[in-house]
Structure 1
Amino acid sequence: MMTMFRTGSRRTHDSGPAAEALRLVKVTKTYGTDDSAVTALDGVTLALARGTFTAVMGPSGSGKSTLLQCAAGLDRPDSGIVRVDGHELTGGGEAELTRFRRGRVGFVFQQYNLLETLTVAQNTVLPLKLAGQRVDRNKAREILAAVGLGDRLGHLPDQLSGGQRQRVAIARALVAEPRVIFADEPTGALDTRSARGVLGLLQDTVRVHGRTVVMVTHDPVAASYADSVVFLADGRPAGRMDGPTPDAVAERLAHLGDDMMAGV
């Protein structure tokens, strides 16, 4: 039976940033029905502190992207509790979730999701316009300069490299001053040099801007830029690693894959 998020503890006003950026309590998500049902998340409980950079990793089918979608309010779990920045997401309707995401959450996706007919500057401030918020163009220019695009404000996306497009996506995520930024394979379509630049920018969003970043990735090198790695297997938490290195992450992933195959 599907149960919606609870509403009793949801804040009614903004009292400042919460100590925990993200908390999931016994979150489950199943796709399909009966014999074709697939459990993507199986009672996941997880807490991430504010001002941290966390990578989420696991074998294919482990539930990584589903966790991010549910944590970000882009999809609804079947049961459990999700809190972002101390606010409990509810089943009160898509309009409410949309307002929450626009005010609290930033997104960086593998495919950039830029509008091809808008300039770099216009794409960057688009979330503010959609939310009906005041657009501070000076602040937007400062953010674009900080991500290395100060001389590209009038360029269209097709005049940019892949790495530059992803930098626009990061600037766009930052301009609304979100408490949490969710990144889904943000370097998956980039060459090594561009990927390093983007990962460095994500680190800066935490260390310089004080945001919280949650990044789904399959790449041990990308994960090594994070403060810690949370591993998933079969839709359940499968350990955590602080101070990750590429070799250590790759070894842990190999063991997770072996464990999943052993259970087949």
Structure 2
Amino acid sequence: MNAVSKVYGKGKSAVAALREVSVTLPKGGFTAVMGPSGSGKSTFLHCAAGLDKPTAGTVRLGGTDLSGMNETKLTELRRERVGFVFQAFNLVPSLTVEQNVTLPLRLARGRTDRALTDRAWLNETLERVGLGGRTTHRPAELSGGQQQRVAIARALITKPEVVFGDEPTGALDTMTARDVLTLLRETVDTLGQTVVMVTHDPVAASYADTVLFLADGRIVDSLSAPTATAVAERMTRLGAYV
């Protein structure tokens, strides 16, 4: 991401959500993004993931410049090279666990036959998230934590270059959230997965390698090897800053 700005609206009603943000997110790392309400966290994630186009600046995924891509190309890129985990699990109620997990493969043109016959990877992914024995269950038969595990498996099934999480533990209780965060941490440590997570929770951020702090649309601070206490202290200072 290089000199990315995002402005919503025009004239006097224009609001700058991001202001010339430049950052490189490390491959195979776990990055958390934090900031006060209205700091630009969601806009940062949406621009980085190709869900929204910046007003100025460039966003690259690997060697691909997203800036000049039309919506069709961006959709294809998101399906094949990016995984998403949201606060709302966004599962299809009528589909089984296995069908929900493999849905991105069914939607990705030209990959269906090959990918869906790769049972070894599907089984490994389901076992990794602790759902090996629940492949035929539907979302209504699962707990909230299990549903989020399905969402994580769905994000991993395409072997994406990066997984973006938008408050992935926001709807979960403390113990379940810890299990989900541990799972995300393990995907980085054992699979070399790249994870970028927006969160408001200092404990969640402490699972990351690095925390970026946004305020007023700019990256104003960062913290390596974070602890929950250190993150909370930085957030307190940001509150005073804003």
TM-score between the two structures when normalised by the length of structure 2: 0.96
User: How many angstroms does 1:87 deviate by?
Assistant: 1.4
**Equivalent residue, structure 2, for 1:14:** none
Alignment of 1:97-116 (within 5 A): 97-116=74-93
Which of 28, 38, 44 is the aligned partner of 1:51? 28
* Correspondence 1:236 to 2:218: yes
**Following TM superposition, where does structure 1 have runs of at least 4 consecutive aligned residues deviating by more than 4 angstroms?**
none
**Matches of 1:54 and 1:153, distance apart in 2:** 30
Contact 1:105/1:178, CA 8 A, preserved across alignment: yes
Q: Which has the higher helix share?
A: 2
**Matches of 2:25 and 2:41, distance apart in 1:** 15
By relative contact order (CA 8 Å, sep 6+), the higher-ranking structure is 2
| SS class of match (2:59) | strand
| SS class of match (1:55) | strand
**Equivalent residue, structure 2, for 1:146:** 128
| SS class of match (1:46) | coil
* Correspondence 1:64 to 2:41: yes
**Matches of 2:11 and 2:144, distance apart in 1:** 42
* Correspondence 1:212 to 2:194: yes
Contact 1:121/1:141, CA 8 A, preserved across alignment: no
* Correspondence 1:172 to 2:154: yes
* Correspondence 1:79 to 2:61: no
**Equivalent residue, structure 2, for 1:13:** none
**Equivalent residue, structure 2, for 1:91:** 68
For 2:152, the aligned partner's letter is I
Moved more, 114-123 or 95-104: 95-104
**Matches of 2:69 and 2:21, distance apart in 1:** 22
| SS class of match (1:229) | strand
| SS class of match (2:24) | strand
TM-score between the two structures when normalised by the length of structure 1: 0.88
* Correspondence 1:160 to 2:142: yes
| SS class of match (1:107) | strand
**Matches of 1:240 and 1:108, distance apart in 2:** 23
User: How many angstroms does 1:90 deviate by?
Assistant: 2.9
| SS class of match (1:51) | coil
Question: Structure 2: any 5+ residue segments left out of the alignment?
Answer: none
Contact 1:85/1:180, CA 8 A, preserved across alignment: no
% identity of equivalent residues: 60
